[in-house]
Structure 1
Amino acid sequence: MTAISNKKRLADYFHKYRVPPGGTRLLLVNTVFSSVPLGMIMVIQPLYLKALGYTSSSIGLLLGIASLSSMLFMVPGSLLSDYFGRKRVLMVSIVTYALYMAVFSVSSDVYLLALASILSGFSWGVYSAPFTALLAAKVGEERRSYMFSFNSFLFSLATILGNLSSGLVNVFEDVLLLSPITSYKVLFVAGALVEGLAIIPLLRLTEEKRSASKDTKIVKLKAWKVVKKFSFVNFLVGFGAGLFIPFLPLYLNMRYAASEALIGTVLAASDAVVAIAFLASPSLVERIGAVRTVVVTQGLSIIPFVMMPLPIDVNAFTLLYAVRTVLMNMASPIFTAYMMSVVDDQERASVSGITTMAWVGGNAISSFLGGYLIDINLDLPIYLCSVLYVLATSLCYFFFHKLDPKR
């Protein structure tokens, strides 16, 4: 009887991940096609720029332009999606990202690449808010946390696939005898084509008419009080992450003299485990509630994080980093789904844009500080990041635990 009961519970659990037909499936397909190029770009863009002869500072400048552009367009993009329609803004975002990769495939001029970086930042700046709002609208509240987690699961898998596809550069060089720069350009073209496929499911997507008026403004948000709390928590998490996470490859190289292959393995292994963990987080929500799930997982993630500077070998470091990453990241879709459940439908895109901008803004600011802190002490960013995570987790409980529905 126990075995049968366990099988039934397991079947019921996975049944909740059954994707309903229609808009939800179309949005998840969009996630896959738009995430594969992103995973590839994360690996090949800096290497391509280096092959073109750009210095590290110039590469950092182009990457910084994209981040700044993303932050600046987040709130305007969310308001435009509430005004013109979320589907339309999402489609513009995809076309813009494909155009960015197309420019990189045909030009090495710094000004054109800077313009392309702005297009890249614009694309991701306006993508998140309408997508989050559309997915929240397509899924009922009971299964919302499951679908957001499943979307994050697909995002992780597609990103890993994109990371692995960057190895085709070596295949093009060895088998087709292409030059390194030409090989990179072929991948940029391929990435633009795959990104273009992401628009196909959106063509079939229907967007429900909403009661939002055409004069929607940030100051008129009914949820402005709670939005400020969500934004402050996101800002602290983003600020903490920016102190260390972007510099992880540099940290591993300086501490362990790690090669690019080893660094890539560390990141890929962490992403793979995170993808699986995304599927487990909704079960915690059902048992202890959304806010408590976020607080428990993020709080526990700080323990392996502060242990990473201990005198350990790279294998132990990888294990601690993987555990930290799983616990920290598995709460992200739950927090997003919870946020969408406490604001009105017509304000979801705007709220998503504002809170995401808070995270990106904090991350952008602290990224400039992270490199400086590493020069002072290699482990200092980890400790400061941990302090900010403790503060953010504590405030999350203080702000929202009374609003958490009993499970």
Structure 2
Amino acid sequence: MPVLRDYLANVRRFSPDARRYLWVSALQGMGQGVFQLLFNFYILSLGHQEGFLGFLISLPSFTALIFVLYAGYISDRIGRRATFLLGGVVSGLAQLLMLLSPTPAMLVLASILRGIGASLFGATTAPFLMENSTPAERTHLFSFNAGISTMSSFVGNIASGALPAFFAWLFRVNAQSTKAYGWSLAITTLLTLATLLPMLGLRRDKPLTQRQIISPFAALKEQRGSMTRLLLPSLIISMGAGLLIPFLNIFFRNRYGLSDSAIGTLYAVSSLGMGVAILLAPILAERWGKAMTVVATQGLSIPFLILMGFVPNLPLAILSFFMRMALMNLSGPVYQTMVMEEADESSRTTAASLYNMIWSMGRAISPSLSGPIQQAYGFDPVFGLTIFSYVISIYMVYRWFVWKRPQPSRLEAESRLS
């Protein structure tokens, strides 16, 4: 098949450093697959309420919101490789603190460190992938990186369903006890530390000079029109997603009484499906264009979100959960490539930082609001607000990037001329 042959040819173009970083993404994906399911249960097992849980979920994003521009500056000053290593060490330290001293103060400190670590990776990954690819395989690399991370979460999700039961048997405690959840989360710490190995194999890149580094605020001023059009839809959709997505495991437990093992399997199958869907993104982007791919896939996810939230039927809710996750996440690497192609070399890290800052803003504000809403009114208003935010964001992308048919980005134009 010509499409498959072209796809594989682009994958074979990946540089050695890009391939090494894919190992980092795979290990992080496995760790995240365990963490995203068990962290909520771990905090609740300590005796805390949903309000404090929402605060802890929001805190890394609040921290990233404040720190992400500094993270971009650090990445330019010390280089991509050193920034990745620093982010891995900080993230590992955060997880150790959370497990070894789970007092409220230490949980807050660990959440702050998690935000710093995430900022360092968030500000560096997209510029690193941009610098280690050509326009021909760039969308494939961004999609492959997201896809392999998501598919690796499949392994983590499967493990997360079985780990508490295993440690409960090993220590003769209840499977929903703090000890069972804590030892299960220790696996994520080991995986985080393991990412340091492929990072050490990356070439020592040359940091940008002071003259080459553009001020984040100067970059935003110079490109305020294009950056606003690119970032505002992301802000709105991230605020809607932050209300709901971090709490979907609690939604399935409370509404349908699913066990931890069943929820782990649900997340695992979802991760596998998302990974496969994301790998299809370059094919759709080549046929429809990047902007139309984003509009179509995000728009198709809305009916499934409605079914999951407002039709109380477990099989239908599970199917809708799978479809929504696959369709929404398919557009992520395509949109991130659009952002990177709009920025020149001196402001690329700033663009990545601003993109991550926008997502952090939504994830920082929304979970802290969602917890009290759930306690007072349940999940119905949460689903309604999320759907509304998706509709507004999709309309903006369509209005600005599809309906008006703007000129191709600078790098797309250069690629067509070459």
Normalising by structure 2, we get a TM-score of 0.87
Structure 2 CA distance for partners of 1:267 and 1:204, relative to 1, 3 Å: closer
Q: How does 1:8-407 map to 2 (within 5 A)?
A: 8-18=2-12, 20-166=14-160, 167-175=162-170, 177=172, 181-206=178-203, 207-208=205-206, 210=208, 213=211, 216-221=214-219, 222-374=222-374, 375-376=376-377, 378-401=379-402, 402-404=406-408
Give the match's secondary structure for 1:403: coil
CA contact (8 A) 1:211 1:346 kept: no
What do residues 266-320 of structure 1 show as CA deviations (whole Å, max 9, x unaligned)? Answer: 3332222111001111101111211111111112222322333454511012112
Give the match's secondary structure for 2:190: helix
Give the match's secondary structure for 1:141: coil
CA contact (8 A) 1:83 1:216 kept: no
Equivalenced residues, count? 401
Q: Distance in 2 between matches of 1:44 and 1:264?
A: 9
Q: Which amino acid aligns with 1:350?
A: T
Q: Distance in 2 between matches of 1:283 and 1:115?
A: 43
What do residues 132-179 of structure 1 show as CA deviations (whole Å, max 9, x unaligned)? Answer: 110111011111111111111111122222223332232233246578
Please state how far the C-alpha of 1:72 moved relative to its aligned partner: 2.0
Q: Distance in 2 between matches of 1:310 and 1:333?
A: 29
Q: Which moved more, 1:257-266 or 1:123-132?
A: 257-266
Q: Which amino acid aligns with 1:34?
A: Q
Q: Distance in 2 between matches of 1:244 and 1:127?
A: 24
Structure 2 CA distance for partners of 1:240 and 1:105, relative to 1, 3 Å: closer
Q: Distance in 1 between matches of 2:242 and 2:407?
A: 29
Q: Which moved more, 1:91-100 or 1:155-164?
A: 155-164
Give the match's secondary structure for 2:386: helix
Structure 2 CA distance for partners of 1:46 and 1:386, relative to 1, 3 Å: closer
CA contact (8 A) 2:69 2:350 kept: yes
- Percent identity (aligned): 25
CA contact (8 A) 1:83 1:214 kept: no
Structure 2 CA distance for partners of 1:256 and 1:48, relative to 1, 3 Å: closer
What do residues 220-275 of structure 1 show as CA deviations (whole Å, max 9, x unaligned)? Answer: 21434322222211111111112322332343344434443443333332222111
Q: Distance in 2 between matches of 1:193 and 1:258?
A: 28
Aligned CA-pair RMSD: 2.6
Q: Which amino acid aligns with 1:403?
A: Q
CA contact (8 A) 2:290 2:338 kept: yes
Q: Distance in 2 between matches of 1:104 and 1:361?
A: 23
Q: Which moved more, 1:48-57 or 1:104-113?
A: 48-57
Q: Distance in 2 between matches of 1:276 and 1:25?
A: 18
Q: Which amino acid aligns with 2:350?
A: S
Q: Distance in 1 between matches of 2:407 and 2:378?
A: 41
Q: Which amino acid aligns with 2:215?
A: K
Q: Which amino acid aligns with 1:308?
A: M
What do residues 84-114 of structure 1 show as CA deviations (whole Å, max 9, x unaligned)? Answer: 3222222111100111122233223332232
Structure 2 CA distance for partners of 1:59 and 1:287, relative to 1, 3 Å: closer
What do residues 336-356 of structure 1 show as CA deviations (whole Å, max 9, x unaligned)? Answer: 012111211222221111122
Q: Which moved more, 1:19-28 or 1:346-355?
A: 19-28
Give the match's secondary structure for 1:330: helix
Please state how far the C-alpha of 1:395 moved relative to its aligned partner: 1.2
Q: Distance in 1 between matches of 2:171 and 2:377?
A: 46
Q: Distance in 1 between matches of 2:235 and 2:311?
A: 31
Q: Distance in 2 between matches of 1:47 and 1:282?
A: 36
Structure 2 CA distance for partners of 1:344 and 1:193, relative to 1, 3 Å: same
Q: Distance in 2 between matches of 1:191 and 1:146?
A: 28
Please state how far the C-alpha of 1:332 moved relative to its aligned partner: 0.4
CA contact (8 A) 2:14 2:137 kept: no
CA contact (8 A) 1:91 1:199 kept: yes
Give the match's secondary structure for 2:136: helix
CA contact (8 A) 2:240 2:366 kept: yes
Please state how far the C-alpha of 1:181 moved relative to its aligned partner: 4.8
Please state how far the C-alpha of 1:47 moved relative to its aligned partner: 3.1
Q: Which amino acid aligns with 1:394?
A: Y
Give the match's secondary structure for 2:367: helix
